Amino acid sequence: MEPNEIQTALASAVEEVLETMCFASVLAGAEGAVPPEWDGAAPAFTAELHFEGSPSGGFRVGVPLKLARVVGAGFLGREETEVSDSQAEEVVCELANMICGSVLSRLESKATFQITHPELAPPEHGISFEGAGTNRWFDLGDGILAVSLELQQTV
């Protein structure tokens, strides 16, 4: 699978999910875990899941706390101030689930995958995707959302 193909699938999947489910738009995006000027160690909700199929692998979504509330508000149809930490966490997990499903169907539309439930890393870990597969970040205006897709080599 070509790296460009994966980047395109990541970009299309994130835009589709954010626009359809969270009524949010992507202003800019590029390859890499985070933009050079952005602090990846800032507190963030990071949801990670694994999938089995052809290919198997892992997927992660990292969203800074403030942006998680903005995205959560769009998803739930509420004001940012009405979105609790646990609701923001749930929405980030749902985003991971939906984006991963969308990416996999774009890369392998005929294959069947088993996707595990997303697990959250402690917010203080920030977003640290370096060296973990194909990374891409997205600027939503209110912050940066980052995704990482790791595909296991099939023999």
Report the interface residues with other proteins, using CB under 8 A: 16-17, 20-21, 72, 75-77, 87, 90-91, 93-94, 97-98, 100-102, 105, 109-113, 115, 117
To other proteins, the closest distance from the beta carbon of 80 in angstroms equals 15
To other proteins, the closest distance from the beta carbon of 26 in angstroms equals 14
Reduced to 3 states (helix: H, G, I; strand: E, B; else coil), residue 89 is: helix
Instruction: Tell me the C-alpha distance between 68 and 65, whole Å.
Output: 5
To other proteins, the closest distance from the beta carbon of 152 in angstroms equals 18
Q: Give bridge partners of residue 150 from the DSSP assignment.
A: 58
To other proteins, the closest distance from the beta carbon of 112 in angstroms equals 4
Instruction: Tell me the C-alpha distance between 74 and 11, whole Å.
Output: 20
Question: Of the two residues 34 and 68, which places its CB atom closer to other proteins in the complex?
Answer: 68
To other proteins, the closest distance from the beta carbon of 36 in angstroms equals 30
Question: Of the two residues 7 and 116, which places its CB atom closer to other proteins in the complex?
Answer: 116
* DSSP, residue by residue, 2-61: -HHHHHHHHHHHHHHHHHHHS-----EEEESSS-TTS-TTS-EEEEEEEEESSS-EEEEE
Question: Of the two residues 75 and 128, which places its CB atom closer to other proteins in the complex?
Answer: 75
Instruction: Tell me the C-alpha distance between 123 and 38, whole Å.
Output: 16
Task: Report which residue type is found at 123.
Answer: P
